[in-house]
A = this chain, B = another copy of it.
Amino acid sequence: MPPTDRIREHAGHGAATTVAAQRVRRRLRADRARQLADLLRRQLLTGAFPHGALPHESTLATDYRATRNTVRQALDLLRAEGLVERQPGVGTLVVAQKYPHGLDRLMGLAETLREHGRVTNEVRTMGPVPAPAPVADRLRLPAGADVLYIERLRRLNGLPLSLDLTYVPLDIGTALLTADLEHTDVFRLLEAATGLPLGHAEITLEAVDADAHSAAVLEAPQGAALLMLERLTHLADGRPVDLEFIRFRGDRITMSGHLHRSV
């Protein structure tokens, strides 16, 4: 018997506590639904359900020792996230299109998603700009030196995936002005332009609510959760050459990797 059911019984004692008991029951059902949704979420994202169909509610209820109400509530949570859809007469189908971005190695988008389809980039803006102070600082350039600014909407198999703002020092950036940015990762172009491999990057990840304009560009609902990545990439010789601010659609990307206890 799951612990929540045990607590539920406990909460049911005494007539005077009926309202409180109802509240506790609701809370416990919501807790159980979240618990179940988390277990199903990973399975559906990793393709564990044959033909993309979830087992019947009653099967899920038996398998997870949950009530039908809890199962329904768990499926509602997954539906609200756009991971599944109910089809009358058919059942619950996986509709998630979440792609795994590697966190173990420094890779460009097309590289890391190679198995999942074709990445194309719509260049929204590109041109030299005087580096704002924090950009100059991080790219170790003199204040006001020109940098190449690029803004791209990136798609996987035609679906908007991320909006990327990129700053590159102009001595390297000039080579990018005539490159095939629509079909090539900036990482590959940087390595080609400098003849050096990339070395490492400092990254920061955050979850943020999409502002109205970013949401519109990414074709996501306003306020949708975005995975925001700030990344400063260095060449193998240590020179910082690429400062990026990337907004990924939260419903289209996961970041996966390994952490070790001792470094």
A125 to B127, alpha carbons, bound, how many Å? 55
Which chain B positions have C-beta within 8 A of A75?
Answer: none
Q: Is A109 an interface residue (CB 8 A)?
A: no
Neighbour of A81 across the interface among B205, B208, B224, CB < 8 A: B208
Q: Contact between B34 and A106 (Cβ–Cβ < 8 Å)?
A: no
Residues of the B chain whose Cβ atoms lie less than 8 Å from the Cβ of A38: 165, 230, 245
A104 beta carbon closer than 8 Å to chain B: yes
Q: Count copies of this chain in the complex.
A: 2
Chain A, 241-263, CB within 8 A of any chain B CB: 245, 248, 250, 253-263
Are A134 and B39 CB-contacts (below 8 A) given A31-B124, A209-B225? yes
A207 at the interface (CB under 8 A from B): yes
Say if the beta carbon of A117 comes within 8 Å of chain B: no
Q: How far is the CA of A135 from the CA of B211 in the complex (A)?
A: 37
Interface string of A206-231 (1 = CB under 8 A from B): 11110101100000000111111011
Task: List the one stretch of A13-21, A86-94, A196-204 in contact with chain B.
Answer: A196-204
The chain A residues found within 8 Å of chain B, CB to CB, are 2-4, 6-7, 27, 30-31, 33-36, 38-39, 42-43, 48, 63-65, 77, 80-81, 98, 100, 103-106, 124-130, 132-135, 149, 151, 165, 197-209, 211, 213-214, 223-228, 230-231, 236, 245, 248, 250, 253-263
CB pairs A–B below 8 angstroms (6 shown): A3-B125, A103-B203, A200-B260, A204-B254, A204-B256, A206-B227
A6-B127, A225-B225 provided; 6 other pairs, C-beta below 8 A? Answer: A3-B126, A31-B151, A39-B132, A64-B132, A197-B261, A206-B253
